[in-house]
């Protein structure tokens, strides 16, 4: 137990070192790229081309293989950014600021994908592109927070002040996360409740569920890949004059 | 049932295209940024 705690503590301390992170991410990126494309390809091709047609919605339901993973990662990215914001506020860890700065545009793009794919799916099934429904509105608020974080960061010339400011804004935006999750339970929404449940049986057929799980996993790997690449670019930008980077 | 490739479904294809574009952007932009910095580093070294 003590050994596990110590190794976790060591790993946490190493995460704070930009040269260590730059080196390790450089080694792992090709493997993550391989697995992310493999899972994404299998999940989407299986889901879009080989899973059964829905008896009510027909083929348009296949948007689920992109919409659900995109919505899932868009919230997960914000959760990790909230943890990084706490670390940045308490320990002033430089890497936490780099993480928030790098992940915000990725989070914004996946939230945009969740919104646009939901809108394209809503048109033939609900008869409208958009409705001010609690789930849709709270997800739009999440997107606005991502954009606000990106904008706030670029308005600062000094990196340390920018890191502190975006950390505060990230923590403010975290209030929206449980609202997104519970919106379908708290309010009477047009958006359906969750189809995949961990505590009880899922309301989706297993033939449709398996490719969806693979696709979700693929999206998480792609987020990890793009996050690592964005962080490497940010480290390089900030540390271009440091001796370790010049000799790398 | 297998999805009929010829049965063109505008909504599914549009979402697929947007997904590929967004994932592509997320991967290409940091790669280009890092390449630019590495080029600058090489010029400074020389």
Higher pLDDT, A78 or A199: A78
Please name the residue of chain A whose CA is at the shortest distance from the CA of residue B10. Answer: A60
pLDDT at residue number A116? 96
- The pLDDT assigned to B7 comes to 62
Whether A182 is covered by a domain: the verdict is yes
Q: Report CA-CA distances (Å) from A36 to A41, A209, A226, B38.
A: 8, 19, 10, 26
Q: Determine the residue among A33, A34, A48 to mutate to test chain B binding: the one whose Cβ has the most chain B Cβ atoms within 10 Å.
A: A48
Q: Report CA-CA distances (Å) from A200 to A4, A196, A213, A230.
A: 32, 9, 16, 37
Q: Give the SS3 label for residue A205.
A: coil
pTM value is 0.92
pLDDT tens-digit profile of A105-161? 999 999 999 999 999 999 888 888 999 989 999 999 999 999 999 999 999 988 889
A112 vs B: CB within 8 A? yes
Number of domains in chain A: 1
The pLDDT > 90 percentage for chain A reads: 64
Task: Give the structural domain span for A73.
Answer: 29-48+59-194+202-246
- Once rounded to an integer, what is the mean pLDDT over residues A45-68? 89
With respect to residue A175, please indicate whether it lies within any of the assigned structural domains: yes
Q: Please give the ipTM for the structure prediction.
A: 0.88
pLDDT in tens, A182-222: 888 888 888 877 777 766 777 788 888 999 999 999 999 99
Q: Which residues of B touch A245 (CB under 8 A)?
A: 41
| Residue contact B18–A113, C-beta within 8 A | yes
Give the per-residue pLDDT at A60.
87
Model pLDDT, residue A172: 96
Residue of B nearest to A37 (CA): B23
Whether residue A124 is contained in a domain is answered as yes
Nearest-neighbour CA in chain A from B22: distance (Å):
7
B33–A233 C-beta distance less than 8 A? yes
Q: Is residue A90 part of a domain?
A: yes
CA distance A2 to chain B (A): 39
Q: Within a domain: residue A91? A: yes
Q: Is A221 exposed, middle or buried (0-12, 13-18, 19+ CB in 10 A)?
A: buried
């Amino acid at each position: 137990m003590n050994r596990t705690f110590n190794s976790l503590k060591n790993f946490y301390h190493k995460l704070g070192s930009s040269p260590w992170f730059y080196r390790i991410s450089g080694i792992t990126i090709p493997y993550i790229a391989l697995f992310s494309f493999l899972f994404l390809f299998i999940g989407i091709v299986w889901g879009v081309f080989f899973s059964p047609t829905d008896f009510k919605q027909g083929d348009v339901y296949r948007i689920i293989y992109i919409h659900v993973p995109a919505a899932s990662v868009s919230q997960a990215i914000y959760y990790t950014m909230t943890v990084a914001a706490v670390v940045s506020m308490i320990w002033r860890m430089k890497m936490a600021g780099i993480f928030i700065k790098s992940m915000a545009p990725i989070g914004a793009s996946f939230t945009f994908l969740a919104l646009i794919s939901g809108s394209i799916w809503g048109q033939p099934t609900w008869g409208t592109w958009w409705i001010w429904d609690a789930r849709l509105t709270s997800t739009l608020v999440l997107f606005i927070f991502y954009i606000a974080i990106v904008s706030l960061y670029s308005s600062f010339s000094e990196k340390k002040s920018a890191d502190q400011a975006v950390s505060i804004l990230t923590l403010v935006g975290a209030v929206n996360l449980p609202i997104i999750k519970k919106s379908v339970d708290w309010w009477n929404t047009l958006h359906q409740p969750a189809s995949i449940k961990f505590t009880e049986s899922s309301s989706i057929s297993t033939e449709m569920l398996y490719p969806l799980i693979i696709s979700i996993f693929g999206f998480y790997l792609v987020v990890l890949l793009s996050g690592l690449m964005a962080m490497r670019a940010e480290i390089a930008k900030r540390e271009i004059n440091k001796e370790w980077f010049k000799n790398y | 049932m297998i999805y009929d490739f010829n049965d063109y479904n505008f909504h599914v294809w549009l979402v697929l295209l947007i997904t590929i574009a967004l994932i592509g952007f997320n991967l290409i932009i940091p790669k280009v940024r890092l390449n630019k910095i590495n080029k600058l580093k090489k010029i400074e070294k020389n």
